[in-house]
Structure 1
Amino acid sequence: MPPKFEIFFDRIEITSAGTLPEGLSVAEFFDGVSIPRNRELMRVYRDLELVEQLGSGVLRIFTPPQVERLLAVFTKEHKRQELQHLLGLSDRKNFTKNYLNPAIEAGFVALSNPNSPTSSEQRYTLTALGKRIINQ
């Protein structure tokens, strides 16, 4: 089945029921690797600024808004309390469950001391992948 193009007043949606491009694994797809099927069409979209960056969409789709908010406040290595304060959150359990742990599990945030995750001296920093997410 060929791709379906839908043009709306505020967006263009392209739906493809196809498989992944040859040579692209599922893991690479979810890591944001992109192999355009139609390089000329991709060039036109990029020239018209209709795409931000090749391969950026998958990571953004699967990144919860709470994690995006957390990543956006990083400026250096931070303690948990600092991050909560920067986000205006007071409930430690909510912050840990919905913000910090998902960011760590996704590989966006690293612990300064991974052998003692609950240490009062624990600090958190953005990984290269976390920096990639906030720079998109």
Structure 2
Amino acid sequence: MIESYERLMAFIQKHLPDPFYLEGDQRISPRERMFREVISNILIHREYLNHYPAKLVIESDRVFTENANRPHGYGVITPTNFSPFPKNPVIARFFREIGRADELGSGVRNLFKYYHAFSDAPPELIEGDIFKIVVDVSKIARQVTPQATPQDERIKRILAFCEEPRSREEIQKFTGLKDRKYFRRNILNPLVEKGLLLLTIPEKPNSPNQKYYSKKNNGKIIPHFTPRVTPQATPQAPPQVTPQAGEKIEGLNEELKQLLEIIKINPGIQVKDIPALLANRSLKTIERQLKVLKEKSLIERRGSRKTGGYYLKEN
């Protein structure tokens, strides 16, 4: 949970400018004051029995979050109508003790105190079965005027090349760079950290079978994280299956096609590693679907019971 907090704060710091702001004669960080509360809300007040994935999305003119919730009421929350209510008091107390949160209710007050640094419009807090926070950042968006650079053009070419999953070796060869260490540190890792390249095996970033692919998301920057204490994972959706010559995928539903694609881009994958790549699908369901694919002679299992994995079956 601490790691999730730090990764989300780092994501905000990387992608959202921090406007100049004076409180009295002291400069403070409104970005830190506001989004510390937003991220704490995601982790502290989440309904962990609900499988709805937590979201934090940065768009060109707003930042919004969605989080599973056990509502104490319904509707828009304002400083005048809200009453603090501890939904996970043990987690809230732990965050206060380690200095990641203040007293109960401080989040709403800080959001409405510092929002003027980002916009003339106040934030929206909407309580329901899904708790939503929307922070307008149009004021700083107007101040940012990015200019294209050769590095930007290189990134565009890499992302276009990676619309199909590619290995590190394939991407490095495509860029023409010879130094593997330089390529990984200055090209590949930053693209992954920014969420521009996704991992086919996100829970094993150093897997020898790892591949990377880009995802079109309508201009949104979407972080992919899995809070360690949540019962569900934020899924990394596999690319859609594109039938190739000789492939026998007729009669398969979308779930079976997704599973087939996972095996296609991760040859030798073990069944225990598959649930992390598929949203809201239990291990028991995956085992049943693997059996269907085997019966249709689309896949086969190779190797020992302990270390073996699944492969596409050769025609």
TM-score, length-scaled by structure 2: 0.24
**Could you say which structure has the greater relative contact order, defined with CA pairs below 8 angstroms and 6 or more residues apart?**
1
TM-score, length-scaled by structure 1: 0.49
Kindly name which structure, 1 or 2, has the bigger radius of gyration based on alpha carbons. Answer: 2
